[in-house]
Amino acid sequence: MRERLGAATRGCGLGCLGLALALSLLLGLGWAISDGQLLDLAQRALLRAQLQGRQSELRAPFGDDDSLNRFSIPPGATAKQIAADLVAAALIGDAALFLDYARVEGYDRQFEAGVYFVKASQSIVEIAALLTDSSRSFILFRSREGARIEELAELIDSNGMFAFSGADFLALVGWGAAIPADFAAWAGIPAGASLEGYLFPDTYQLPPDISAAGLRDTLLRAFRERVGDELRNAALAREFTLRQVVTLASIVEREAVWRDEHASIAGVYHNRLSIGMRLEADPTVQYALQGARGAWWGQISQADYRQVTSPYNTYLSAGLPPGPIASPSLSAIQAAIYPAESDYLFFRAACDGSHRHQFARNYEEHLSNAC
């Protein structure tokens, strides 16, 4: 029995050895599925060992540019295609190293189609992890108080992450653009007018695939939500249309540096309007110049008060200008509806450099406040 068992064992020797060698060969070769090669444990361990000697390359950025670059992974893209696209975008320098690392860590099966924002100053390790979840990508866009629509267009261009240009945006919000009818009716915007003043200033986290129309609608929706029917009805109750309120608020926004002066400045303008006195607001002249001084809010002269012919020049034209001159904050809109009660008719910058204002009841007082 023992001999027979031994013989049986000895008889298996060459066959079993051959089977073991075949298995070892299969283990060593692994297998491939299309372009995204799946690694077995042995291959993964070998490749991981090789990458241990290249840790400095994996963790070193390709460049030192910290600006965000828009990078898209199309549906169905393989890890090899993604690596090649990253090289073409100058975000990494070694496609093969990226691909090896992605395979070892399993990222090659986790890369997700979508839009990402990647820096050349990020390493392969960071970029590979980033490209597995497109939901974490967004565009941070800050629309500041007191900006005119041309400045918003410049922000879009300087941001570098939008798929459209500032000119594309201006075509949807400028004079003559087709304004969404429901918003135009609610806000009382006349046909042909721009959306100046209604693109609510705030900080927004936007989806990376947002369009120019999507950005416009986001800013308009924020305006309607923040202002709401309550403030709109409050304006009407005081015999002002919402458009008149936004127009006045935009002037207040440009005049004031400190928010706690909004109501006082608005009060001066209400007082002037109530007696038929011209507003004589410098920002309206700056707006009328349309950047002719090399800046949207450039320095103006005494001569400009008399020579800039425009319905927006409130030194020449009585009452409010035809429309807003910038995007007012909610505080300025509230101040335009609920101004401070006073008998002030003038204000000018204080002489202490604080950017605050001194107020006066008459022109003589106003002159005495001069620096």
Question: Could you tell me which of 315, 310, 246, 307 has the C-alpha nearest to residue 280?
Answer: 315
Cα–Cα distance measured from residue 135 to residue 329, given in angstroms and rounded to the nearest whole number: 30
Mean pLDDT of the chain: 90
pLDDT digits (tens, 9 = 90+) for 148-160: 999 999 999 998 8
Provide the residue ranges of all domains of the chain, joining segments of one domain with +. 44-136, 149-340
Q: What is the pLDDT of residue 39?
A: 61
CA distances from 174 to 161, 246, 252 (A): 22, 17, 22
Q: What is the pLDDT of residue 135?
A: 87
Question: Could you tell me which of 87, 83, 82, 78 has the C-alpha nearest to residue 38?
Answer: 78
Which element (helix H / strand E) includes 141? strand 139-142
Q: Are 283 and 252 in contact (CB under 8 A)?
A: no
pLDDT at 35 over 80: no
- Structure tokens, 212: 């120019």
Of 10-14, 275-279, 351-355, the range with the lowest mean pLDDT is 10-14
pLDDT digits (tens, 9 = 90+) for 61-76: 999 999 889 999 999 9
pLDDT at 302 over 50: yes
pLDDT at 168 over 60: yes
Other Cβ atoms less than 10 A from the Cβ of 359: the count is 20
pLDDT at 362 over 90: yes
What are residue 358's DSSP bridge partners?
Answer: 348
Q: What is the pLDDT of residue 144?
A: 95
What are residue 116's DSSP bridge partners?
Answer: 71
Which of the 8 DSSP states describes residue 89? T
Question: Could you tell me which of 281, 266, 291, 343 has the C-alpha nearest to residue 313?
Answer: 281
Other Cβ atoms less than 10 A from the Cβ of 185: the count is 10
pLDDT at 264 over 90: yes
Task: Report the largest interatomic distance among the alpha carbons of the chain, rounded to a whole angstrom.
Answer: 129
Q: For the chain, first and last CA: distance in Å?
A: 120
Q: What is the pLDDT of residue 190?
A: 97
Q: Where are the alpha helices (DSSP H) in the chain?
A: 2-29, 41-52, 55-59, 79-88, 95-105, 124-130, 149-159, 166-173, 181-187, 212-237, 242-255, 262-274, 282-289, 302-307, 330-337, 363-368
Cα–Cα distance measured from residue 329 to residue 331, given in angstroms and rounded to the nearest whole number: 5
- Structure tokens, 359: 């107020």
pLDDT at 12 over 80: no
Q: What is the pLDDT of residue 248?
A: 99
User: CB neighbours of 307 closer than 8 A, spacing ≥ 6?
Assistant: none
Q: Where are the alpha helices (DSSP H) in 147-211?
A: 149-159, 166-173, 181-187
pLDDT at 45 over 90: no
Integer-rounded Cα radius of gyration of the chain: 33
Question: Could you tell me which of 311, 273, 304, 307 has the C-alpha nearest to residue 286?
Answer: 304
At 136, the pLDDT band (50, 70, 90 cuts) reads confident
pLDDT at 213 over 50: yes
Average confidence (pLDDT) over 292-309: 93
pLDDT at 279 over 80: yes
Cα–Cα distance measured from residue 235 to residue 241, given in angstroms and rounded to the nearest whole number: 6
pLDDT digits (tens, 9 = 90+) for 179-204: 999 999 999 999 999 999 999 999 99
**CATH, range 44-136:** 3.30.1490.480
Average confidence (pLDDT) over 286-308: 94
C-alpha 51, offset from chain centre:
38
pLDDT at 24 over 60: no
Which of the 8 DSSP states describes residue 258? S
